[in-house]
Structure formats: structure tokens, C-alpha cells
């Protein structure tokens, strides 16, 4: 939040209790910083926006990159790969989400360590079949 996040949430296993605790922490007055990770890096590096000039650039930015650069609110939805080998249900869900206005699908690699179809393959299929950008999520 201090760095400018306008949306804060949770992931796998987040409960209403966690959300209530986040709300309470966000409503509390800011505490003074203590020793630890600096708020701003001492010098730019190639992995931060402050050193982005050293990052390779693509010929064409993605639609997601364009929306973020324009300051648009982006809706991303996480989908898990199917447990079997058939992507029909996940593709049908991605079509519905695209029609509902989702900007990007976040395909997780099954962080609960359950065997599923490859997240990489599902992300590829969604992009090819649904024409909706994906973010491959390896927690």
C-alpha cells in the first residue's frame, strides 16, 4: 500500500479472518519503518521500474501492458488447470470470463501440489482458443 498498491488481497487458504486482519492493518495509522528492507532501493537495478531502461523491450506491448501503462483498472482471474487431460471446462470458463470483461487469466501451477494438467499448456490454450492474455503463475 505504501508503494502505491490500490488492491490488496489474498491467495490460497485466505479466510474471512485473514481479510478482516488485513482490513484492520490497513485502517491502522502507519507505523514508523524499522531496519529491514529499504522502501526504495539505494540504486536502480535491472529488475525494478527505476532501472527499467536496462530491461529488454518487446516490439509490441501486450494488451495487459498497455492497460497498465494507461492506468486502467485491470481484472485478473485465477483459474486452476484441470485434473484430467481435457481442457474443455477451463476453456469454457475462460470464454465466460472474457465475455464478462476479464482482462487477463492467471493460470496457477497447482500450489497445493495436486497433479493437474500443465499450467503452461492451459495458458497457451486459453491464449490460442479464447484470445485472452494469460499470466503463468508459479508460486
Kindly report, residue by residue over 95-136, the tens digit of the pLDDT.
Answer: 999 999 999 999 988 766 677 888 899 999 999 999 999 988
pTM above 0.75, yes or no: no
Q: How confident is the model at residue 49 (pLDDT cuts 50, 70, 90)?
A: very low
The 76-79 sheet, strands edge to edge = 76-79, 104-108, 134-137
User: Considering its fold, how many domains does the chain have in total?
Assistant: 1
Report yes or no on 74 lying in a domain. yes
Report yes or no on 26 lying in a domain. yes
The per-residue pLDDT for 121 is 92
**Domain containing residue 39:** 16-137
Report yes or no on 3 lying in a domain. no
Report yes or no on 82 lying in a domain. yes
Kindly state the percentage of the chain with pLDDT values over 70: 78
Q: How confident is the model at residue 139 (pLDDT cuts 50, 70, 90)?
A: low
**Residue 105 bridge partners (DSSP):** 77, 134
Amino acid at each position: 500500500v505504501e508503494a502505491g498498491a490500490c488492491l490488496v488481497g489474498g491467495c490460497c487458504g485466505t479466510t474471512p479472518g485473514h481479510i478482516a486482519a488485513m482490513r484492520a492493518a490497513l485502517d491502522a495509522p502507519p507505523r514508523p519503518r524499522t531496519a529491514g528492507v529499504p522502501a526504495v532501493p539505494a540504486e536502480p537495478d535491472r529488475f525494478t521500474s527505476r532501472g527499467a531502461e536496462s530491461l529488454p523491450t518487446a516490439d509490441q506491448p501486450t494488451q495487459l501492458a498497455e492497460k497498465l501503462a494507461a492506468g486502467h483498472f485491470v481484472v485478473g482471474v485465477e483459474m486452476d488447470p484441470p485434473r484430467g487431460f481435457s481442457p474443455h471446462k477451463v476453456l469454457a470458463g475462460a470464454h465466460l470470463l472474457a465475455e464478462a470483461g476479464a482482462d487477463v487469466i492467471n493460470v496457477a501451477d497447482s500450489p497445493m501440489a495436486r497433479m493437474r494438467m500443465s499450467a503452461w499448456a492451459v495458458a497457451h490454450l486459453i491464449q490460442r482458443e479464447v484470445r485472452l492474455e494469460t499470466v503463468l503463475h508459479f508460486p
